[in-house]
Structure 1
Amino acid sequence: MQQDAEATCSKFDSATSSSSHFRILVGVTGSVAALKLPLLTTRLLELPGVEVRVVTTEHATHFYSPAEVPVRIYTDKDEWEFWKHRSDPVLHIELRRWADLLLIAPLDANTLGKIASGICDNLLTCVVRAWDLNRPLIFCPAMNTAMWQHPITAKQVAVLKEFGYIEVPCIAKKLVCGDEGVW
């Protein structure tokens, strides 16, 4: 395990020293919109000089097949497997150092609430909590219209914007549940 941690740290070091690439860390949460993750990562990789990695929440994995995602996916399990001893790398810190941009797409209501409240109980929310505020963080809320219209949602989005994070607003469409509205 120590060798695995050292290899991981070494991979991050070499990736960080590469100035020819722009590194995007995609956070994906438990919204049905997570089914678009394979398409999103494929499109990002089409951009010249872009490297992509994914941090997923457990609930997000219900909506996509990891085999269809052409980049490395990190889970909560990885956080604990990489760190065994005091001198081992801490994955959420290594990912924070690696990335030039954090894109959370989709951002479900649950994770929105956690981030706005400072809760960091999984790999993704730990990355966000440790995020360098001098680097961009873009979030794309995606939830049922009834959840979006709840008064707490606007307050939580405002908190993220106060941190300097950039919102990509929801779009209006027919939702998977059959409702018409924003998603």
Structure 2
Amino acid sequence: MTEAAQQFITPLTLQVLSKNPVHTSVMSEDRPDVVNHIELGKQTDLFLVAPASADTIARLSHGHANDIVCAVALALPAHVIKMIAPAMNTNMYEHPLTQTNLNTLKTIGYQEIEPKTSLLACGDLGKGALATVDDIVQIVQDALLDIT
């Protein structure tokens, strides 16, 4: 989880709901015999960032590794399926820099799960709302079926 994600839901809540460990720091090493973000990358079949903010998209597209999400992304083996589901204000989503960053990610193998047009948290109506959970789950399931 990024720091921003932790403002919406606590790591403990996510851990209880998912019944999986939640990683919050690139520098936190639970086991002395492995480098956490490298090991997480090795264990990954599909890497999904949802919701993906404009900031996270920018950091991913520029190869930053200053949080656990971006560090794991850089450590992913080439064969891992990579997906990103943007969620932000319409103007932020449509901004040329955000679109350039998304295109950069697409050129290195990320699949965008496009945001939907909806009433946004800011009160605007437009494209930028996170795709529905059902749509995201279906896309992920389809991708996983393709690799089995």
Shorter-chain TM-score: what band? 0.7 to 0.9
Separation in 2, partners of 1:111, 1:164: 16
Q: Does 1:180 align with 2:125?
A: yes
User: Of 63, 67, 70, which residue of structure 1 is paired with 2:13?
Assistant: 67
Q: TM-score, normalized by length of structure 1?
A: 0.63
SS at structure 2 position matched to 1:134: coil
Residue 154 in structure 1 maps to residue 99 in structure 2: yes
**Is contact 2:118–2:125 with CA below 8 Å preserved after alignment?**
yes
Encode CA deviations 1:74-105: one digit per residue, 9 max, x unaligned: 1116x424366xxx311101111111111111
152, 166, 180: which one aligns with 2:111? 166
Letter in 1 for 2:18: P
CA contact (8 A) 2:44 2:76 kept: no
Match of 1:82 in 2: 30
Q: Secondary structure at the match of 1:177?
A: coil
Q: Deviations over 1:34-68 (max 9, x none)?
A: xxxxxxxxxxxxxxxxxxxxxx1011111124425
Structure 2 spans left out of the alignment, 5+ residues = 129-148
The residue matched to 2:28 in structure 1 has which SS? helix
1:1-183 pair list within 5 angstroms: 56-65=1-10, 66-67=12-13, 69-71=17-19, 72-76=21-25, 79-82=27-30, 88-183=33-128
Query: 2 CA distance for matches of 1:64 and 1:82?
Result: 22
Say which SS state the counterpart of residue 75 (structure 1) adopts. Answer: coil
Q: Which runs of 5+ in 1 are unaligned?
A: 1-55
Secondary structure, aligned partner of 1:156: helix
Give the % identical residues. 33
Q: What CA RMSD, in Å, does the superposition of the two structures yield over aligned residues?
A: 1.6
CA contact 2:53–2:86 (8 Å) conserved in 1: yes
The CA deviation string for residues 152-175 of structure 1, in whole angstroms up to 9 with x for no partner, is 011000000000111101110001
